[in-house]
A = this chain, B = another copy of it.
Amino acid sequence: MNQQVCSTSDITGARFTIHPMADDFVSIILGALEETDMSKVWHETDDVSSCVRGRSVHVFDTVKAVFLNASKTGKHVALNATFSNGCPGDVQGDVYLTEDDKPMNEASLSGIYQDVSVHFALYPLGSTTYMETIMDQINDAIEKGIKTKGVHYATRLDGNAHEIFAALESSFNNCLEDDSSHVVMTVTISANTPSKKGMK
Contacts and interface: CB of A to CB of B under 8 A. Distances in A.
Interface string A162-200: 000000000000000000000010101010011111100
B148 A46 contact: no
Contact of A2 (B21, B127, B150): B150
B134 A4 contact: yes
Interface string A20-38: 1111011000000000000
Nearest to A88: B131
Interface of A: 1-7, 13, 15, 17, 19-23, 25-26, 44, 46-49, 51, 53, 76, 78, 80, 82, 84, 87-88, 90, 92, 117-119, 121-128, 130-131, 134-135, 138-139, 142, 148-156, 184, 186, 188, 190, 193-198
